[in-house]
């Protein structure tokens, strides 16, 4: 049954707006819940404007930036668009959802089609761990493989290419009217630009609307390839912008590569030369390190479990040092949750977790969730965790590493760890809304000392279009979150004032962690509840007696998107191999 406008908008606003990498309190459920009310209030505000002012809505704005740790030393900047701009963009996409899905479902290669799920992330993607078996089946009887992806894909997208993809370049250029529903891609282009202060290069990384736009573009890239060339593809798939294609011959692979490159250029996209090659299929092999880690047995209890933990993490550290550009530590930390650690072995497991997060900061969110879950079932949290929080702040706050600091602050909130004056000074100097809001929350709970944020001067309503809109809006309605001028700024802006009047918030100070779905965790949590039906346990874990699967978070041993893909064989590996 097709989705209605409201169903589509509610999903994209409530479960697909903020980047999934943020700590639990950052949420957009209340915006989705008040969708109809906000739509009505904002429509009334627009109707009261002159037609000229109304046609300029929404005004361009800046997104809140969130610097994210990735594999190795790589980093990525995620974006949290202004809610006004994001709301209009979501509504436009939802209005034309049938036409958009007609295009995206036409792909014969994509396994990341934009289907809105009934729960969880609005637009989920298949786990990368499932691709290994798929690749083996596809290339087993083939002669050649083409492997490639796009260069800086999200950050290089030319927004004017969105209507080209939806309507054809000649049609979109002939009719640039952003209010004509026949070429609604022009309006999507305009709204994407409005989310990033009018910039035409790149789209925000994080919201699911960008996933949809990426699929629109890549499906159109596929359609630009002739049927004759597409028929040369014997098997294969596209995972977002990663292509893995199999052919009968190397000549066929190279012919399709030429067509694919030309199709990308039509939309001002480029293939990543460093990750592009056509080679003989017999030269390809899957990476072995995930299997090696999974094969490392973890004991179930007692001294055998303790010895196995030593072997496991020593082995992981060795592999990680040999391949520093892979997300080995992140995978290994998540994989370690396949067993429940015995209480007498918690000290060594805790120490290894902290080391993993110190040396490989892209797994800090997983480590925080594990520690909080074990705290809930009564495991003793050592002073090492407090020292870890201090060290993470000292190491990462001066460099504006938002991801690491945000999760360290959330760990401090979850375990009621008070930051030292030195760490507090580091935090309040960070010019980032996510970290600033967490810092203000800590201070309201007497877990952070120091003065008010001294980097944000008195603000006005114009600043609600800046990259500090989130902090200003949240501070406007909270006692003790003293950001000078915030309340007056929100009151002076009719759109944000409407959000405030509807009691919409993007930070839930009462949010808790969900327990991880560890083996036997339900029984342990029921013991910790001591007969209560529901309670907040240590680690800020919300536990429910006889909890259902939705009450638990599945951390698992999977690796996240963009973290693992088999490398292209080196030239000396494929020389002189017959097909």
Task: Give domain status of residue 5, yes or no.
Answer: no
CB 247 within 8 A of CB 140: no
299 φ, ψ to 5°?
Answer: -65, 165
Q: For the chain, what is the largest distance between any 2 Cα atoms, rounded to a whole number of angstroms?
A: 76
Output the pTM of the full model. 0.93
Task: Give domain status of residue 221, yes or no.
Answer: no
List alpha helices for 60-207, DSSP H. Answer: 83-95, 97-104, 131-139, 153-156, 161-167, 169-174, 184-194
Task: Give domain status of residue 471, yes or no.
Answer: yes
Task: Give domain status of residue 513, yes or no.
Answer: no
Q: What is the 3-state secondary structure (H, E, C) of 224-255?
A: HCCHHHHCCCCEEEEECCEEEEEECCHHHHHH
Both tokens of 367, joined, read 């480590």
pLDDT in the model for residue 366: 96
Residue 79 to residue 106: CA distance in whole angstroms: 29
Concatenate the DSSP letters of all residues of 369-383 into one string. HHHHHHHHTTPPPPH
Per-residue DSSP letter, 459: -
Q: Within 10 Å of residue 102's Cβ, how many Cβ atoms?
A: 10
- Cα 356 to chain centroid distance, Å, stands at 21
DSSP reduced 3-state for 325: coil
Task: Give domain status of residue 201, yes or no.
Answer: no
Query: pLDDT digits over 310-348, tens only?
Result: 999 999 999 988 888 888 999 999 999 999 999 999 999
Q: What's the half-sphere exposure (Cβ side, CA atoms, 13 Å) at 162?
A: 32
pLDDT in the model for residue 579: 36
Task: Give domain status of residue 411, yes or no.
Answer: yes
Task: Give domain status of residue 168, yes or no.
Answer: no
pLDDT in the model for residue 558: 42
Closest CA to 240 of 330, 116, 154, 362: 154
9, 199, 241 from 213: Cα distances, Å:
15, 16, 12
pLDDT in the model for residue 575: 40
Per-residue DSSP letter, 549: G
pLDDT in the model for residue 547: 77
Instruction: Give the range of the structural domain holding residue 473, as residue numbers without chain letter.
Output: 289-501
Query: pLDDT digits over 412-424, tens only?
Result: 999 999 999 999 9
Task: Give domain status of residue 166, yes or no.
Answer: no
CB 76 within 8 A of CB 84: no
Residue 317: which H helix or E strand, with range?
A: helix 302-322
Residue 286 to residue 547: CA distance in whole angstroms: 39
Query: pLDDT digits over 4-17, tens only?
Result: 999 999 999 999 99
Per-residue DSSP letter, 366: H
Domain count, the chain: 1
Q: Which residues of the chain have pLDDT under 70?
A: 72, 451-454, 556-579
Listed in order, strand segments (DSSP E) in 2-138 are 64-69, 75-80
């Amino acid at each position: 049954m097709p989705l209605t406008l409201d169903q589509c908008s509610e999903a994209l606003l409530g479960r697909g707006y903020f980047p999934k990498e943020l700590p639990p309190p950052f949420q957009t459920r209340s915006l989705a819940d008040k969708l109809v009310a906000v739509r009505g209030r904002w429509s009334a505000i627009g109707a009261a404007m002159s037609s000229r002012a109304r046609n300029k809505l929404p005004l361009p704005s800046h997104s809140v930036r969130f610097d994210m740790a990735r594999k190795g030393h790589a980093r990525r900047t995620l974006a949290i668009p202004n809610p006004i701009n994001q709301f209009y963009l979501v509504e436009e996409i939802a209005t034309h959802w049938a036409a958009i899905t007609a295009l995206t479902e036409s792909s014969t290669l994509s396994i990341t089609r934009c289907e809105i799920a009934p729960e969880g992330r609005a637009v989920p993607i298949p786990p990368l761990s499932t691709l290994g078996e798929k690749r083996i089946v596809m290339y087993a009887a083939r002669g050649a493989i083409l492997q490639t992806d796009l260069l800086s894909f999200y950050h290089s997208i030319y927004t004017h290419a969105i209507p080209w993809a939806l309507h054809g370049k000649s049609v979109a250029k002939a009719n640039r009217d952003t209010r004509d529903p026949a070429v609604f891609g022009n309006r999507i282009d305009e709204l994407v630009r409005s989310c990033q202060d009018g910039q035409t290069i790149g789209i925000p990384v994080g919201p699911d609307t960008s996933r949809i736009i990426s699929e629109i573009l890549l499906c159109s890239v596929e359609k630009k390839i002739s049927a004759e060339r597409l028929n040369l593809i014997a098997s294969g798939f596209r995972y977002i912008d990663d292509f893995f294609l199999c052919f009968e011959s190397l000549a066929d692979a190279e012919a399709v590569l030429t067509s694919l490159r030309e199709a990308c250029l039509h939309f001002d996209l480029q293939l990543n030369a460093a990750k592009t090659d056509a080679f003989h299929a017999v030269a390809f092999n899957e990476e072995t390190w995930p299997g090696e880690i999974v094969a490392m047995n973890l004991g179930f209890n007692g001294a055998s479990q303790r010895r196995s933990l030593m072997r496991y993490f020593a082995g992981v550290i060795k592999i990680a040092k040999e391949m520093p550009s892979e997300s080995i530590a992140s995978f290994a930390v998540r994989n370690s949750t396949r067993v429940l650690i015995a209480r007498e072995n918690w000290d060594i497991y805790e120490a290894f977790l902290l080391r993993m997060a110190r040396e490989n900061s892209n797994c800090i969110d997983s480590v925080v969730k594990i520690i909080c879950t074990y705290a809930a079932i009564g495991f003793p949290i050592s002073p090492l965790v407090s020292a870890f929080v201090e060290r993470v702040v000292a190491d990462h706050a001066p460099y504006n590493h938002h991801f690491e600091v945000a999760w360290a602050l959330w760990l401090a909130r979850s375990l009621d760890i008070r930051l030292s004056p030195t760490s507090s000074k580091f935090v309040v100097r960070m010019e980032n809304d996510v970290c600033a809001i967490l810092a203000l929350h800590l201070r309201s709970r007497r877990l952070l000392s120091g003065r008010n944020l001294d980097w944000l001067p008195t603000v006005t309503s114009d600043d609600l279009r800046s990259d500090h809109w989130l902090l200003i809006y949240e501070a406007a309605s909270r006692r003790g979150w003293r950001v000078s001028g915030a309340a007056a700024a929100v009151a002076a802006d009719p759109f944000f004032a409407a959000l405030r009047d509807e009691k919409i918030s993007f930070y839930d100070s009462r949010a808790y962690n969900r327990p991880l779905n560890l083996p036997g965790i339900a029984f342990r949590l029921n013991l910790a509840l001591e007969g209560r039906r529901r309670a907040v346990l240590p680690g800020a874990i919300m536990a429910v007696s006889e909890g259902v699967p939705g009450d638990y978070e599945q951390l698992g041993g999977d690796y996240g998107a963009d973290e693992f893909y088999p490398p292209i064989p080196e030239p000396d590996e494929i020389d002189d191999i017959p097909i």
